Amino acid sequence: MFLVVGLGNPGAQYAKNRHNIGFMFIDRLVESGSFGPTRKKFQAEVSDGTVETPKGPVKILTLKPQTYMNLSGNSVLEAASFYKVKPDHILVFHDELDLAPGRFRLKMGGGHAGHNGLRSIMGHLGPNFIRGRMGIGHPGQKELVHSWVLSDFYKAEDWVDRLCDACVKALPLALMGEAEKYMTEVMRLSPAPKFDPKKIAE
């Protein structure tokens, strides 16, 4: 069994924020089929389902922590403990400032780079879980980061839906431990945009 987590903040006011791209991915995954209705458990919204892989079906629990970002680890720990899921079977999809908009990387372990959701999860589980790093770009100055991640994606940023869909469609590769193939397929299905979204608002 895999625990597939999307990070974000609960509430309609945050729904389209850059910080919530992890939630957006989970929504796409649950809508893709083979998942049951969303319910509240483990301080989160969860859904049970399966993803078909060439090696057979893999059982999945999706998790959208409803604790707010900086307490995400509380929810992840509850679910992981209940189902006895080890960190190497936990995939956490989150916004990544250090990647250009639309870029994607999958990695095991590492630091949190100031991301409060990752910081919280690491505080409970250690660093050795899998991260799906969904690039949102950096505003250019450290003091602008907070307002940047809590700002909505621009309507012209149609890459967001494409990236979420690609991450869902290629997911069987990640579940089989094929990290490099997964990243390559995601980028093939959803090439990163050529523009800088910061310039759209200028």
Residue 18 exposed, middle or buried by CB count within 10 Å (0-12, 13-18, 19+):
buried
Backbone torsions φ then ψ of 148, nearest 5 degrees:
-65, -50
What is the C-alpha separation between 35 and 51, in angstroms, rounded? 9
**Amino acid symbol at 60:** I
Residues with catalytic annotation?
Answer: 19
Please check whether residue 62 is in contact with residue 46, taking contact to mean a CB–CB distance below 8 angstroms.
Answer: yes
What is the C-alpha separation between 57 and 11, in angstroms, rounded? 33
Please check whether residue 23 is in contact with residue 95, taking contact to mean a CB–CB distance below 8 angstroms.
Answer: no
- Helix (H) and strand (E) counts in the chain: 7, 7
Please check whether residue 29 is in contact with residue 62, taking contact to mean a CB–CB distance below 8 angstroms.
Answer: yes
Residue from 27, 20, 8 nearest 153 by CA: 20
Backbone torsions φ then ψ of 11, nearest 5 degrees:
110, 145
What is the C-alpha separation between 118 and 152, in angstroms, rounded? 21
